Structure 1
Amino acid sequence: MGGTLRVAVLGAPGVGKTAIIRQFLYGDFPERHRPTAARRLYRPAVLLNGAVYDLSISDGGPGPAPAPAAGPAAAPAAAAASAASSSSASASASASSAAASAATSAASSAGDGGLQELPDLKDWSLQDMDAFVLVYDICSPDSFDYVKVLRQQIAENRPAGAPEAPIIVVGNKRDQQRQRFSPRRALAVLVKKSWKCGYMECSAKYNWHVVLLFKELLSSVLARGCKHSHPAIRLQGALHPNRCSLM
């Protein structure tokens, strides 16, 4: 038993997408933030409950094409990504006020705001992903709005009749708990009851709940065939007795 599972990790610039992936794969945390200039693919093998699974983890950046995870980003691309990330702070507030029903048009009309960096799901073939991790910064309401639009885009671009792809919304930077913009319980209720997604929080810096995140993700994908269990329920706390390790 086993197979290949395709996972997309998406979110606004600077929320810690790459840090979460690197903490899971390599157990390290980059102290200096370097914007991801283009989408990167990581291909680890994972042992879960005695079965080996090949993961294809897509680290979502603004660039249109995948780049090898081991290779350094080109300097011009990194500089461009840095400029886009810094300019997003000044206009993300106006972009976040776009109605959810106009999510696609908001991404193209947000000017210099962060929403203009929303990935093109068709170009990236994200419709074929087995699961999604949508990351936001618990100290940044704009990054949560970004995730809201992403979730809607995923739903709108899912091919008719395609199997359900589990989504986990992840609040990163839990180590900055005192600066959070909203109580954890309020966000968890919104995500699980209104969005019908899983929810958890982690700290990539201190490796808190990072491994658990990927355990729950794998479990939710494998349990997708359970028709009588809601996906948001299946995601919550079902993996504590399970074993998951990198190979």
Structure 2
Amino acid sequence: MVATFKIAVLGAQGVGKSAIVRQFLYNEFSEVCVPTTARRVYLPAVVMNGHVHDLQIMDFPPITAFPVNTLQEWADVCCRGLRSVHAYILVYDICCFDSFEYIKTIRQQILETRVIGTSETPIIIVGNKRDLQRGRVIPRWNVSNLVKKTWKCGYIECSAKYNWHILLLFSELLKSVGCARCKHVHTTIRFQGALRRNRCTIIISQLLRKRGQQRATFPRAQEGVGGGPRRAQAGDPGQGGPGSRGPEQPGAQRQLRATRALPLLAPLVRRVTARPMPLRSC
């Protein structure tokens, strides 16, 4: 059974909520700022640790207050499904102090209204527009210290314009949601601990290793003009004669196989690092 994770993206107007979502899903960014006036729901599917997960990413417009009960939640069209999500992404602009105050208020309202299961629901604070570092209004150390130690939430900074830390944000958020059953570990510890691992590097190394094993198990015979195996000549590497470099070492052979596999893995690596892999139902 495929698990479905519901994620709510909240923030003030103009902080880049929709830009983060569209960069994650479609690997695109628009310089034109279009305000979000209605709730937008995206239903992608991702693969993490060999398991398929269905996501329901809900991009909410700026709300005046978090709904205090289910009746108020479903009475307002813009707030439907806001209280039943598995994780919250609160986005603010690092160059706008008012946007940080907005998510501060929303977080406090979430803690006051969602009493049941609040401690197990990850709340991630995201500072967007990292590319405008010179216009920062609050030092990063102060925000990080406040969010991690006082608020007990995860914190990460990203840039939707340059696709920086976008994939990392959602991948580590999924890991934090997937570990929600570990009730003895706080959400902040789970999220910050997951940030220390780089799973993309592990994926690439495993693919290179598998490719090298396949080449070692099923070597291709070098064919000559007549279609048969080509005979070794005097100038070939590993043979005697002029231009001979001696027999290749096993380490050099593995490095050569990995180098040959890089062009074949380049499109897959770009898809892993840029966007989630699309899935097709059988």
Give the shorter-chain TM-score range: 0.7 to 0.9
CA-to-aligned-CA distance 1:68-112 (integer Å, 9 cap, x gap): xxxxxxxxxxxxxxxxxxxxxxxxxxxxxxxxxxxxxxxxxxxxx
Q: Distance in 2 between matches of 1:193 and 1:163?
A: 15
Consecutive unaligned residues of structure 1, counting only runs of 5 or more, are 63-115
Q: Distance in 1 between matches of 2:96 and 2:118?
A: 33
Match of 1:32?
32
CA distance 1:239–1:25, shift in 2 (3 Å): farther
Residues 194-233 of structure 1: matches in 2 within 5 Å?
Answer: 194-233=150-189
Match of 1:132?
88
Match of 2:263?
none
Match of 2:2?
2
Displacement of 1:240 in angstroms is 1.6
Q: Distance in 2 between matches of 1:35 and 1:205?
A: 16
Displacement of 1:235 in angstroms is 0.8
What amino acid is the match of 2:198? H
CA distance 1:169–1:190, shift in 2 (3 Å): same
Displacement of 1:169 in angstroms is 0.1
Structure 1 window deviating more from structure 2 (203-212 vs 118-127): it is 118-127
Consecutive unaligned residues of structure 2, counting only runs of 5 or more, are 74-79, 204-271
TM-score (norm 2): 0.65
Displacement of 1:147 in angstroms is 0.5
Q: Distance in 2 between matches of 1:162 and 1:138?
A: 26
What amino acid is the match of 1:58? M
Match of 2:208?
none
Cα contact 1:219–1:239 (8 A) shared by 2? no
Q: Distance in 1 between matches of 2:199 and 2:151?
A: 27
Cα contact 1:216–1:239 (8 A) shared by 2? no
Match of 1:71?
none
CA distance 1:139–1:54, shift in 2 (3 Å): same
Cα contact 2:121–2:187 (8 A) shared by 1? no
Displacement of 1:246 in angstroms is 3.2
What amino acid is the match of 1:120? P
TM-score (norm 1): 0.74
What amino acid is the match of 1:240? N
Identity of aligned residues (%): 54
Residues 69-148 of structure 1: matches in 2 within 5 Å?
Answer: 117-120=64-67, 122=70, 123=73, 124-148=80-104
Computing the radius of gyration over CA atoms, which structure comes out larger, 1 or 2? 2
Displacement of 1:186 in angstroms is 1.0
Structure 1 window deviating more from structure 2 (141-150 vs 153-162): it is 153-162
Number of residues paired by the alignment?
194
Q: CA RMSD in A?
A: 1.8
Displacement of 1:17 in angstroms is 0.1
What amino acid is the match of 2:199? P
Q: Distance in 2 between matches of 1:239 and 1:226?
A: 19
Q: Distance in 1 between matches of 2:66 and 2:183?
A: 30
Q: Distance in 1 between matches of 2:196 and 2:170?
A: 12
What amino acid is the match of 2:106? L
